[in-house]
A = this chain, B = another copy of it.
Amino acid sequence: MAVFPLAPGSTIAILGGGQLGRMLSLAAARLGFDVLILSPEAGGGAGRVSAHTLAAPYDDPEALRTLAGIASVATFEFENVPAAVVEALQALGVEVAPGPLPLAVAQDRVDEKTFLNASGAPTVAFAAIDTLADLRNGIDRLGAPALLKTRREGYDGKGQTWVENHADIEAAYDRIGRAPAILEARADFVRELSVIAARGRDGDVVAYPAGENHHEAGILRRTRAPAVLSPATREQAETIAARILTRLDYVGVIGVELFEMKDGHLLVNEIAPRVHNSGHWTLDGCEVDQFEQHIRAIAGWPLGPVTPLAQVEMENLIGAEVEAWPKLAAEAEARLWLYGKGEAREGRKMGHVNRLSPLKG
C-alpha cells in the first residue's frame, strides 16, 4: 500500500505511453521517482524515458499484477481507462488517482454535463439521445444548428457532427452511427478558455491562470496564457474549477474547457481528468508545470506554486509541421518540446513550441 507523501525512489505507474505520459515521466524523474509505463504499444515516447515499461493491453491481468508489484500509485494520460482496470488495480492495492468517479463522469458526456450542472458549473443546454425521437425532441427544444456527439469516446472532433436543421436530423444521427449520444445547444461564445487546476490529497486546490484556446479542424492549434480576463471572469473560472475538483474528491490535475459568453459568464464545455494539452504553456511559463503538479498531487506532496513567470503562446506541431524543427530550434524565444514519435502522420501531435514574452501587467 502507498504511504503518503510518497517517498522518492518509489515507482509511479502511468497508463498510456504518449506525450502526456512522457512529460509526466520527465516530471516524476525530477522529483526522484521511477516510472512504469503500461501501454499496449511497445516503444512509445513515454516508455523511452521511463525505468519500466509493460507492453500489454490495459486489462491484461498479468500486466496489472506486475504493475502492482512495482508501483504503489497509478495514474493515466487519457480518460478512457476502463472502469474494470481501475477496480482491478485497486483490488491489487494500488492507489489510482484520479479515482473512478472522475473517470466515470468524464467518460460519458451526458453524465458529465449532468454532474457539472449539479455542481454549480453551468454548461450549455443538452439532451440525452437514445432514439431518433429523442433527437427530434431535442432539436425542437434546443433549436438548430445543434451539436450531436456520441456519449462515449471521441476526441479532437471525432464522433461528433452538427445537426444543421430539421431536415438533417436523420442523416446526422446516421453520421454518428446511431450511437447513444448527447445533443448540445450551440454556444454563442466569444472565445474558448481553459483552466488547468489541481487538487492535492489534503484537499488543497490550486488553479493556473486561464489560457485562451484556438482550435482548427477540431484540434487544439494554440493556447495563449495567461489570458486577459476581467477579475469577475477570473474568479468565476477558479470557482468552477474548485467546485468540480472538490465535488469529485479529485486528486491530480484536471483540464476544464470553458466557453466565455458575450456577457463574460462562463460555461463548461468539458473536463479532462488528466494533464491537458492546453496546459503545456506551464512547462515554460511557470515554476511548477502541470506535469510536476500532477505528480505532486498523486504522490500526496504539497501542491506547488501556479504563478506565471512569462506570457506564453503554445503552438501544437501537428503532423508534418514538426519538420520545421531546425527553424524553431533557432528561434531564441521558442522553447521546443518534441515527443519522440516516429512517424509524422496527419493530425498527429508531434510536439509543441512555447514562445515566451514578458508578462503583461
- Cross-interface CB contact of A26 among B8, B49, B332, cutoff 8 Å: B49
Q: Given the complex, which residues of B lie within 8 Å of A25, measured CB to CB?
A: 49
Instruction: State whether A339 touches B32 (Cβ < 8 A).
Output: yes
Considering only residues 43-79 of chain A, those with a C-beta below 8 Å from chain B are 48-51
Among residues of B, the one whose C-beta sits closest to the C-beta of A305 is B332
- Cross-interface CB contact of A29 among B26, B305, B330, B335, cutoff 8 Å: B26
Among residues of B, the one whose C-beta sits closest to the C-beta of A299 is B329
The listed residue with most B CB atoms (<10 A of its CB), out of A29, A296, A305, is: A29
Q: Given the complex, which residues of B lie within 8 Å of A48, measured CB to CB?
A: 29, 34, 50-51
**Quick one: CB contact mask for A294-323 with B, threshold 8 Å, 1 for yes?**
001000011011000110000000000010
Given known pairs A49-B26, A329-B301, A329-B302, the reply for A340 and B288 (CB within 8 Å) is: no
Among residues of B, the one whose C-beta sits closest to the C-beta of A43 is B51
Give, as a whole number of angstroms, the nearest-CB distance from A194 to chain B: 23
Among residues of B, the one whose C-beta sits closest to the C-beta of A322 is B8
Instruction: State whether A287 touches B284 (Cβ < 8 A).
Output: yes
Instruction: State whether A30 touches B338 (Cβ < 8 A).
Output: yes
In the complex, A48→B301 CA distance in Å?
A: 22
Q: Given the complex, which residues of B lie within 8 Å of A284, measured CB to CB?
A: 287
Instruction: State whether A288 touches B29 (Cβ < 8 A).
Output: no
Give, as a whole number of angstroms, the nearest-CB distance from A8 to chain B: 5
In the complex, A5→B329 CA distance in Å?
A: 10
Q: Please tell me if A142 contacts chain B, counting CB pairs below 8 Å.
A: no
Q: Please tell me if A179 contacts chain B, counting CB pairs below 8 Å.
A: no
Instruction: State whether B340 touches A9 (Cβ < 8 A).
Output: yes
Among residues of B, the one whose C-beta sits closest to the C-beta of A326 is B5
Instruction: State whether B342 touches A9 (Cβ < 8 A).
Output: yes
- Across the A-B interface, the 6 shortest Cβ-Cβ residue pairs: A32-B338, A48-B51, A302-B330, A8-B338, A301-B329, A29-B49
